[in-house]
Amino acid sequence: MAEGAPMAEGAPMVERPISIVVEVNGLRRREHVMPRLLLSDFLRHRLGLTGTHVGCEHGVCGACTVRVDGIPARACLMFAVQTDGCAIETVEGLAGTGELTPLQRALHEAHGLQCGFCTPGILIAAGDLLERRPGADRAEIEALLSGHVCRCTGYRPIVDAIERVARDAAGHTARGDHADDADDADANGDPGGPGDPGDPGEAA
């Protein structure tokens, strides 16, 4: 059949692989994928990134959460072809330097995981929240977790862990502000800080 000619009624539709280019955890990949290959299957079976877990397969449990171009997404609800040209972050990319992130450490220390099935999705989603809202409060954290099913922990230690990181971030900010104020201290002994006029002759 000539290209572009209408398909005969009842003719089977033949799917062909499509070439996509994605950046996964900072590495650029060119792959050929079938049009209906789920992103979760692409990550797990094609790329071997099995940290992306698959629970419900219909967008409810949150275990498959990854970030696509910086936005949390359910990998079980996307086709791999939809991510052509996108940057994907999975749980494997979090400790890329070999060091656990503060959130990973906090979950570990607060016993925020047991079987760990929900953990990758929660790490991605909570990491995203803390990036956007570094000092997120408990209510925001609980709202976030309403989209993630954990059958083991009862949620409290997960909330505690995320809140601990948020508090640390808030503390850092406060300490940073004070440090800045201290840095503003003048040669004449004034403590500095906002509104301090500075020393005579000091550049405004």
Strand 71-74 relative to strand 87-89, pairing? unpaired
Which amino acid, 31?
E
- Smallest gap, in angstroms, from Cβ of residue 119 to ligand FES? 6
Tell me: does residue 72 bind ligand FES (CB under 6 A): no
- Choosing from 21, 100, 115, 185, the residue that interacts with ligand FES (CB under 6 A) is 115
Which one of 25, 46, 87, 117 is in contact with ligand FES (CB under 6 A)?
117
Distance CA 121, CA 178 (A): 36
CB closer to ligand FES, 21 vs 143:
143
CB of 5 to ligand FES, least distance (A): 39
Residue 24 near residue 81 (C-beta atoms within 8 A): no
What minimum distance in Å lies between the beta carbon of 152 and ligand FES?
3
Instruction: Calculate the CA 59 to chain-centre distance.
Output: 16
CA–CA distances in Å: residue 110 to residues 132, 155, 161:
23, 11, 6
Query: Interaction with ligand FES in 126-145: which residues (CB under 6 A)?
Result: none
What binding mask, one character per residue, do residues 35-64 give for ligand FES by CB under 6 A, x or -? Answer: -------------------xxxx-xxxxxx
Closest separation between CB of residue 41 and ligand FES, Å? Answer: 11
By CB under 6 A, residue 118 contacts ligand FES: yes
∠ at Cα 46 (108, 128), nearest 5°?
A: 40
**Residue 153 binds ligand FES (CB under 6 A):** yes
151 sits near ligand FES (criterion: CB under 6 A)? yes
Those residues whose C-beta lies under 8 Å from the C-beta of residue 111, and which sit 6 or more positions away, are 153, 157
What 8-state DSSP symbol labels residue 12? P
Told to check if 106 binds ligand FES by CB under 6 A, we report no
Nearer to ligand FES, 123 or 130 (CB): 123
The closest of 72, 53, 48 to 116, measured between CA atoms, is 53
Of 95, 52, 46, 50, the residue nearest 75 (C-alpha): 52
Q: Using CB under 6 A as the criterion, which residues of the chain lie in contact with ligand FES when the complex forms?
A: 54-57, 59-64, 74, 76, 113-118, 150-153
